Amino acid sequence: MERRAFLTLATGGLLAAPLAVKAQPAGKVYRVGILSPGGVPDPSVATAPNLVPVALRNLGYVDGRHFVVERRFADGRIDRLPQLTRELVLLQMDVIVAAGEPAIQAAKDTTVTIPIVMIFGGDPVARGWVASLSRPGGNITGVTTAAETALAGKRLELIMEAVPGAARIAVLATGGPVSDSLREAQKAASALRVRLVVVEVQGTDYDRAFARMVAERTDALFVLPSPILTRDRKQIVERAAKYRLPAIYEWREHAEVGGLMSYGSSIVELSRHAATYVDKILKGAKPADLPIQQPAKYELIINLKTAKALGLTIPPSLLQRADQVIE
């Protein structure tokens, strides 16, 4: 399905009107669990917990007749994930969609029998979740964004190219262990001779986080990949505009709602791929035999309207490399 139509379904109030692409088995009502370390997202926000059910409807599944969804959100409290996973296990899910590394790890630690479809996770082989990408071998399959970690350095280069002379770059993060993306960004910063100022948002207090960025006299902003920061992207984009901080993000959906730049894949596309795996598993496929997918394309999206509002002139060489320029 074309991306714009998919987004319209997700955000335009058409969730109750699925496209009956395929007839589903009669009688069986599948139970699909969705586990996220983030909080409950606004229905209008494109996140995996919102988009995976939409994608299932587009595959012909009807709410209540073919499937029901049980969602569990940790609201940023990673320590809650094991208990939330146990709740899904006790409810006898037919499949669990785990969004983000903490959720994937919690699901893996809790069940070895219920199929798990991962999304947004790091390298599943390195973390011991699967035997290999081509043949996972256990109860986990899905979509990995492992390569996104290596893109952290590229994103840093791109924001510095957009803001020549930037010497101090804020990095917006959530609490918890240092992520692989942050480590990669720190390595790149050392080579690029730029200082990173890591700012952890407390809860949803983005005003305090941005006030610190201003106090630290940062020249630009690098937003780390995170289910929580993805959920709150509208708040982040609004404050980046308010405090006049040029920012780069992971997902194209950030640029589409007003972020200056993004370099990475698409939440919509990855959620659609995850839903196709849920569909295959519900029809009898084994996770052990389903190769783990990776994004096929990484795109540079530049929002020229936002650049103009910031009084920023994007170098022509950068514009020429963009996959899409939003005007």
pLDDT in tens, 12-61: 333 333 333 454 555 789 999 999 998 888 888 888 999 999 999 999 99
State the pLDDT at residue 25: 52
pLDDT digits (tens, 9 = 90+) for 239-265: 999 999 999 998 888 999 999 999 988
- pLDDT, mean of residues 86-100: 97
- Residue 241's pLDDT is 96
Q: Which residue has the higher pLDDT, 76 or 88?
A: 88
Query: What structural domains does the chain harbor?
Result: 3-145+266-289 (3.40.50.2300), 147-264+299-326 (3.40.50.2300)
Q: What is the pLDDT of residue 3?
A: 43
Residue spans of alpha helices (H) in the chain: 3-11, 48-58, 81-90, 101-110, 146-162, 180-192, 206-215, 227-231, 233-242, 252-256, 267-282, 304-309, 316-321
pTM across the whole model: 0.80
Rounded to an integer, what distance in angstroms lies between the CA atom of residue 324 and that of residue 327?
10
What's the pLDDT at 297?
A: 83
pLDDT in tens, 151-190: 888 999 999 999 998 999 999 998 766 677 888 889 989 8
CB-CB neighbours of 55 under 10 Å: 24
